[in-house]
Amino acid sequence: MKLHSWIKTLFYKAGYSVKKIRHAPRKAAADAKQRTTAVDVMQLLHRTNPYDGFDFRPFPLDSHGWGGQSPAFRELIARKRPRLIFEVGTWKGASALEMAAACRDLGLATQIVCVDTWLGALEFWNDQNDPERYLALQLRHGYPSVYYQFLANVCHGGFQDRIVPFPQTASTAALWFRAHGIKAELIYVDASHEEEDVYHDLASYWEILDAGGILFGDDYGWDGVRLAVERFAEQEGRRVSFVADKWLLTREA
């Protein structure tokens, strides 16, 4: 067995995924550093703007979520005045709408890229009678359609120019950001609550957090979230701090 294959096997057995990242050409990577708005990210991601031709009128506003109206969003945005925010785990968009409103009120041209599969986390599939989770998936022929509710909520809020949907897994989206040399000053992680998933999200998105940026999240009371955050913080020599109901880790400037 070749040495690199043997090393790769050891990583897989330890629970890590070793993937080759296709980096953008040098000129493209240099150009990517100049991309500071999600208008450019929108153009990179979508040949056709996903809001174009979307009729949101059949979908009444329904931004029900958890922790989406936290004062932490406005405080952190006022502190960092970011040009770009990544949100990992969006659901119906309550927190994205809150951040978009805060940016608008502060006169910022901030753009928010929302990464989600819109398939629901583990807890969404455990109880078929749960109106806030399983039924909210809005299954059509067995497949969730809640993504369209998210799009409608963005349209109801009038934030189509600020919020960019990225329907993808957290890990693949992180690889895409890295390949295009795109980093954010604020990254909000609120996807899976399973410890290993959370840890992987933290490791992936720490790499695309801008210098001096803040990685933050919700649900510190969940064992999986807390254990992953504490493990990652210790590994990176960071201190976990809190703003309102959100935990945060700050990268050195």
**pLDDT tens digits, residue range 211-248?**
999 999 999 999 999 999 999 999 999 999 999 999 99
* Residue 238: half-sphere exposure toward Cβ, Cα within 13 Å: 25
At 65 the pLDDT is 67
| pLDDT bucket at 106, cuts 50 / 70 / 90 | very high
Domains of the chain by residue range: 37-250
% residues pLDDT > 70 (the chain): 83
pTM of structure = 0.83
Strand order in the sheet with 84-88: 163-167, 111-116, 84-88, 184-189, 209-217, 246-250, 241-243
So what's the pLDDT on residue 67? 62
Using an 8 Å Cβ cutoff, are 20 and 175 in contact?
no
Q: What is the pLDDT of residue 144?
A: 85
pLDDT of residue 147: 95
CB atoms within 10 A of CB 83: 18
- Torsion angles phi and psi, residue 84, rounded to 5: -145, 135
Domain 37-250: top CATH class? alpha beta
Report the alpha-carbon distance of residue 216 to residue 218 in Å, rounded: 7
